[in-house]
Structure 1
Amino acid sequence: MTTGPTAGAPTPQRCVRVAAVDDDTVIRRGLPLLLRNVDVVGGYPSIDGLLQDAPQVEVVLLDLVLRGTGGPGPVQGAAAIRAVARAGYRILIYTNERRPAVLVTCLAAGAHGIVHKAEPVDALEAAIAAVADGEVVITQALVGLAELAERRGELPTLTERQRQVLAARSRGERFQSIADRFYITRKTAEEHMAVVNGKFADFLRDHSPADLERLLGIAPGDVLG
């Protein structure tokens, strides 16, 4: 006969199996020592090792910035999230990133939650357990992000060409040069930038195109760049 837990006794927590992807050696080696109800079965500096090993885990704890020691362009940000999600993993972002537009884009790419690295370890453990149970989690350090995520369809987005023109103008490139490089007319290049200006008119009133790039995380080498 199987009996239930004794009345009043605490219900034991199950141990969630997790893999961590973070280019910080201290994070990868420290998490198994800090997390009590989590079994960190693997730590990887990039998603390549994770996808190659294909560990049997319930949650992948993923940092957004994976620059390593400065090697050639590792996959990071939304691209990394999509790749890990395609492999069938549930993803909890563990990051220092605070830009709402960047984080909402990462949620839309397939992440199931976000924990800021400033949060206490208990909050991280709770978020891991919740994501493993199928929930979507955004911790208290990112107050307001949940509401923004719900409004994702209302947020301005840029097409690939609009991003290219914005990037060029952020570096001072002239419209004629942009047109020649992308095999479009100068008028078309100007129209693409006009659309960008229209979508982000309030922000660009007091900021430069380069500031907008940083806000969206799409500058070269940035999370979504």
Structure 2
Amino acid sequence: MTTPSRPIRVVVVDDHAMFRTGVRAELGAVGEGVVEVVADAADVEEAVRAVAEHTPNVVLLDVHLPGGGGVEVMRRDRTGSTRYLALSVSDAAEDVIGTIRGGARGYVTKTITGAELVDAVRRVADGDAVFSPRLAGFVLDAFAGTFAVAEVDEDLDRLTEREREVMRLIARGYAYREVAGELFISVKTVETHMSSVLRKLQLSSRHELTRWATDRRLL
């Protein structure tokens, strides 16, 4: 792939300021001359304004955002030319498939390296579809009709977006301190969310939570 004559204009959308700063720095260091971050946004309203003002080539979009989520940003886009690449901590099937159905050209997780992210941005800007390897299987299975994604999971719907993020990480075996670092929140906040998750799902332990999440293919 040849280097574009002009940098790919990117807007970074994530509700964590530290993460937005980190992405800016990483793209600046690895993608100099290839990618230019023209704006960032912390919620749906800010994202919609940034896209309208800057008409970026690509938006790096978190799935869970205050104000309606990443799909709402895509729904309100009137540029007709901007492409969306989801960049999320979540690799749950319903998030991946829902975001692609909402209009994203790709979906990668936040474990991606800076060089991989620059490559993903370039490919999406060129019109390609880009997925982290494990996530591609979800999409292929869903659109082939071999994997059914429930429109509404009443149990899951009881949880807030932040509680879902905490739930998935805890169910995967993360320690509270690791969850706090991953989500840029305090350990005390993780403990509060975990207590709420167990109460809402009527579960009594991490073990039960892991089994619950595994049965729903959320891990």
Aligned pair in 2 of structure 1 residues 152, 26: CA closer, same or farther (>3 Å)? Answer: farther
Q: TM-score, normalised by structure 2?
A: 0.60
Aligned pair in 2 of structure 1 residues 19, 152: CA closer, same or farther (>3 Å)? Answer: farther
Aligned pair in 2 of structure 1 residues 83, 94: CA closer, same or farther (>3 Å)? Answer: same
Alignment partner of 1:32 is 2:31: no
CA drift of 1:16 comes to: 0.9
**Structure (1 or 2) with the greater helix fraction:** 2
Do the aligned residues in 1 keep the contact of 2:142 with 2:149 (CA within 8 Å)? no
CA drift of 1:87 comes to: 4.2
- Once residues 42 and 86 of structure 2 are traced to their aligned partners in structure 1, the CA distance between those partners, rounded to angstroms, is 14
- Once residues 156 and 18 of structure 2 are traced to their aligned partners in structure 1, the CA distance between those partners, rounded to angstroms, is 37
- Once residues 42 and 147 of structure 1 are traced to their aligned partners in structure 2, the CA distance between those partners, rounded to angstroms, is 33
- Once residues 170 and 66 of structure 1 are traced to their aligned partners in structure 2, the CA distance between those partners, rounded to angstroms, is 17
Aligned twin of 2:198: none
Q: Which among 5, 14, 18 is matched to residue 10 of structure 2?
A: 18
Larger of the two Rg values belongs to structure: 1
After superposition, residues 18-167 of structure 1 pair within 5 angstroms as 18-35=10-27, 36=31, 37-53=34-50, 54=52, 55-67=54-66, 74-84=67-77, 86-88=78-80, 89-140=82-133, 142=135, 144-151=137-144, 155-158=148-151, 163=152, 166=154
Aligned pair in 2 of structure 1 residues 13, 48: CA closer, same or farther (>3 Å)? Answer: same
- Residue 48 of structure 1 aligns with an amino acid whose one-letter code is E
- Once residues 2 and 103 of structure 2 are traced to their aligned partners in structure 1, the CA distance between those partners, rounded to angstroms, is 32
- Once residues 146 and 109 of structure 1 are traced to their aligned partners in structure 2, the CA distance between those partners, rounded to angstroms, is 13
The worse-fitting range, judged by mean Cα deviation, of 100-109 and 129-138 is: 100-109
Equivalent pairs: percent with the same residue?
25
CA drift of 1:38 comes to: 1.1
CA drift of 1:83 comes to: 2.6
- Once residues 141 and 157 of structure 2 are traced to their aligned partners in structure 1, the CA distance between those partners, rounded to angstroms, is 28
CA drift of 1:125 comes to: 0.6
For structure 2, the residue ranges without an aligned partner over 5 or more in a row are 160-207
- Once residues 141 and 51 of structure 1 are traced to their aligned partners in structure 2, the CA distance between those partners, rounded to angstroms, is 30
SS at match of 1:23: coil
Do the aligned residues in 1 keep the contact of 2:142 with 2:148 (CA within 8 Å)? no
Deviations 1:88-123 (A, max 9, x none): 321100001111122112101111101111011111
- Once residues 41 and 18 of structure 1 are traced to their aligned partners in structure 2, the CA distance between those partners, rounded to angstroms, is 6
- Residue 29 of structure 1 aligns with an amino acid whose one-letter code is T
Q: TM-score, normalised by structure 1?
A: 0.58
SS at match of 1:144: helix
Do the aligned residues in 2 keep the contact of 1:51 with 1:87 (CA within 8 Å)? no
